[in-house]
Amino acid sequence: MTGPWPDDSATVERWVRAMLEPLASGGDGITVSGLERMRIDADLAGSDLQSLTVDATPVEVRIDAASAAGHETPPPPAAAEPVTVQTRSGVLRRFRISAHPLRIERTPVDLHVEAHDVPIEWSTFAEPVDPAVPESIHAVTPKDPPSGVRGAFDVSLPTKDAVPLITGVLRPALQEAGLRPGRVSLSVDNTEDDDTEGDGIRIQARVGVRWKFIVASARLATVVEITPDAVVTVRELTVRSRHPLVALALRFVRSRLRAVVGSETDLNAELARSGTGVRIHDLRVTTGERLGVAGRFSDRAVTRIGDTTRT
C-alpha cells in the first residue's frame, strides 16, 4: 500500500484542478471556460489543509437553456460504490473562493465565499471513480455533519446586468400565454416598509412583448421580503399592459401570479431537506447600482445554541 494521500500541497492543487476540468465539457447545457487560467493555492500540513484558495476570476459560464431543456436524457445507471482502501481525517482550516469578477452569460458577478474549520476526510480508492480522470482515485470530502464549520458569502452584480436573469424568469410564463419577451428595462430598490421583518426589495420591470403580429409592452412590479434567517416571501406581484389584446393574453397567467403572492421559501429548510448540515443567518440584500446578497453560515448545532454563537 502506498503512503497516505496527499503527500504535498502541489498534489492537492493538481487534484482540485483535475476535478474541475470536466466542467468544460458542456454537459447539461452548461459550459465553463477559463479553468486553465484559474489560480489554485493549497497549504498542506500533515492531515490538515491550512488553506485552500481558488481565484475564479478568469472563469466564464455559458448556459444553453434550450439545449438543457430540449435534450433531456435519462439519468445514468447508479455507479457502484468505490472500494475505499485508505482514509484519514483532517481539517480544512480556511477555504476561500473568489472572483472579481467571473462571468455568467457575459454578466460580471463578484463572488467571495469563505469557510473555516471544515472537518474533511481524505480517501484513496482501489481504482479511479472516473476512468477518464486518473486523479479520481483520490477524494477529499467534508464530513457530515460538518461540526464546527463557519463562514460567510458575498455575491453581487451590476443591477443593469440583472436584466438577462429577469428575462429568463419571465419567459416561461409569457410564452405560455403566446407572448415572446423582447427588450427589458429594470429597477431594483429597497422598500421602506416597517411591517417587514427583513430586507424589502421592490423590483419593477418593463418588458417588450410580441403576440402574433402585435408588438406591445407589459409592466411587472413585485415586492420580495428576505429575512436574516433566509426566508423569502413574495408580498406583491402584478403584471399589466395597456394594450387590450396583450392584457387579455395576460389573464391566462393571472391565476399563477396570484398563487405566488404570499408564498414563502425557507432556504434553511431546503438546506436541511437536502442533508446539508449548515444554516444561513444574517442574510441581507443590498440594492442601488449593484444588486448584492451577503450572509453568514455555520454548523446547525453552533447556530442553535441560544442563537448566540455567531461566526
Q: For residue range 132-183, what is the model confidence (pLDDT) as tens digits?
A: 999 999 999 998 877 889 999 999 998 888 877 666 555 666 666 666 666 6
DSSP 8-state assignment for residue 196? -
CB 92 within 8 A of CB 80: no
SS3 105: coil
Closest CA to 282 of 295, 299, 270, 293: 295
Chain centroid offset of residue 158 CA: 17
| Residue whose grid cell is 397567467 | 253
CB 91 within 8 A of CB 49: yes
Mean pLDDT by 10 residues, the chain (311 residues): 82 95 77 93 96 95 61 58 93 96 89 96 95 94 87 93 66 63 71 62 74 72 89 86 77 78 90 87 90 91 46 38
SS3 268: helix
For residue 212, the model assigns a pLDDT of 66
For residue 179, the model assigns a pLDDT of 62
Chain centroid offset of residue 22 CA: 19
For residue 93, the model assigns a pLDDT of 97
For residue 308, the model assigns a pLDDT of 41
pTM score, whole prediction: 0.78
CB 231 within 8 A of CB 269: no
For residue 228, the model assigns a pLDDT of 92
CB 96 within 8 A of CB 113: yes
Closest CA to 107 of 167, 41, 149: 167
For residue 125, the model assigns a pLDDT of 96
Beta bridge partners of 151: 115, 297
Chain centroid offset of residue 122 CA: 26
The DSSP-derived string for 199-227 is EEEEEEEEEEEEETTEEEEEEEEEEEEE-
SS3 283: strand
For residue 120, the model assigns a pLDDT of 96
What span, in angstroms and rounded, lies between the C-alpha atoms of 45 and 49?
Answer: 6
SS3 13: helix
C-alpha dihedral over 78, 82, 87, 90, to 10 degrees? -30
Closest CA to 281 of 267, 294, 293, 295: 295
